[in-house]
Amino acid sequence: MKKLIFTLGIITILFSVVGCKSDREKEVERLSNESIDLVVDGAVEMLTDGLINKEQFDEITDDYGKIFKDSAELGYQYAVHIKKLAFDEFYREEIFKSSQQETDKVNNDNSNDKQSKNIQNSEKAILASIKEFAEREYPNDMQMQTYIYNEQLKAYKYMITVKDLEVLKFAEREYPNNYSMQKYTYDNQVSAKRYMQGVQDEEIKTIATREYSHDYTMQKYTYDEQLSAKRYMQTATNSSAKTKAIREYPNDYTMQKYTYDNIAH
């Protein structure tokens, strides 16, 4: 733990001695603050749960410090991977299985070697699961199996580098065994999240976020549909049909438009 404090302290000091910070220095400082929290949370969680030992804990923090010193972005990606490794249920299950198998086979193995093998085995388990996925998708087509495997592997490597943990968890829940769909979902969700952060109509935004609090793609879809219907209703000329539609659906412009059209036409 002392080594962790020293490693992270050096990174912190690098920023505290800087007076007027450039945009790049501010970005590096932001990455440092976020990645330190990630790597500490992940490493402590694994240590507490017995997934790693004290020496491996020190190795993780040492590696993080070295990687971040060379590249802030790579250091951040490493920290995200450690956090994911610590809290992802699939990883934890595979590490546990590997640990049990090693214990059953050789009770006298060195504990350090066991833990290192367990983490390595978790990565092997991921590759094995990707291979099984490809075989299930195309059991009689080796060419398509190879294609699917490569696409899934590429998507898996992409997903362990992503930065938005909220959206990452959403994508994993939606497609726990399909990395290509995780990547597709993640990218669409991040794009929609940025879109929703920039919208202007607060009333419509509230409707969309209330309907889909954790799904940014559906928030965007709902926002666009509701905004279009709101503008339509503002130009509606049949006053009696408009009044009835608003009375029936005071907080839903899409249903107002639908009701209005049924009455007026």
147 and 53 housed in the same domain: yes
107 and 236 housed in the same domain: no
What one-letter code names the amino acid at 5? I
Among 137, 163, 189, where does a domain finish?
Answer: 163
pLDDT of residue 121: 57
9 and 108 housed in the same domain: yes
In a domain, 94, yes or no: yes
Among 106, 139, 163, where does a domain finish?
Answer: 163
Rounded Cα–Cα distance for residues 68 and 11 (Å): 9
Which residues have CB under 8 Å from 214's CB, separation 6+? Answer: 170
6 and 137 housed in the same domain: yes
Angle between the 216-234 and 202-211 helix axes, to the nearest 10 degrees? 140
Copy the structure tokens of residue 166: 């909220």
In a domain, 180, yes or no: no
| Number of domain units in the chain | 2
210 and 113 housed in the same domain: no
Contacts 24+ apart (CB under 8 A), 39-42: 39/64, 39/78, 39/79, 39/82, 39/83, 40/4, 40/8, 41/83, 41/86, 42/79, 42/82, 42/83, 42/84, 42/85, 42/86, 42/87
In a domain, 8, yes or no: yes
pLDDT of residue 51: 75
In a domain, 112, yes or no: yes
83 and 206 housed in the same domain: no
28 and 98 housed in the same domain: yes
154 and 212 housed in the same domain: no
**Residue 257 and residue 227 in contact, taking contact as beta carbons nearer than 8 Å:** no
Rounded to the nearest 5°, which phi and psi values hold at 139? -65, -25
Q: What is the DSSP letter of 252?
A: -
pLDDT of residue 244: 95
Q: What does the pLDDT profile of the chain (265 residues) look like in tens digits?
A: 545 544 555 555 455 544 566 777 887 888 888 888 888 888 888 788 777 788 888 888 887 888 878 777 777 777 777 777 776 655 555 554 554 554 455 455 555 555 555 555 567 788 888 999 999 999 999 999 999 999 999 999 899 899 899 999 999 999 988 999 999 999 999 999 999 999 999 999 999 999 999 999 999 999 999 999 999 999 999 999 999 999 999 999 999 999 999 998 8
In a domain, 192, yes or no: no
Rounded Cα–Cα distance for residues 166 and 190 (Å): 10
61 and 143 housed in the same domain: yes
In a domain, 250, yes or no: yes
Q: Return the residue matching tokens 């959206």.
A: 167
45 and 147 housed in the same domain: yes
10 and 63 housed in the same domain: yes
In a domain, 174, yes or no: no
For 60, the domain range is 2-14+24-163
**Residue 230 and residue 245 in contact, taking contact as beta carbons nearer than 8 Å:** no
Q: Return the residue matching tokens 């990218």.
A: 187
30 and 148 housed in the same domain: yes
pLDDT of residue 9: 53
In a domain, 119, yes or no: yes
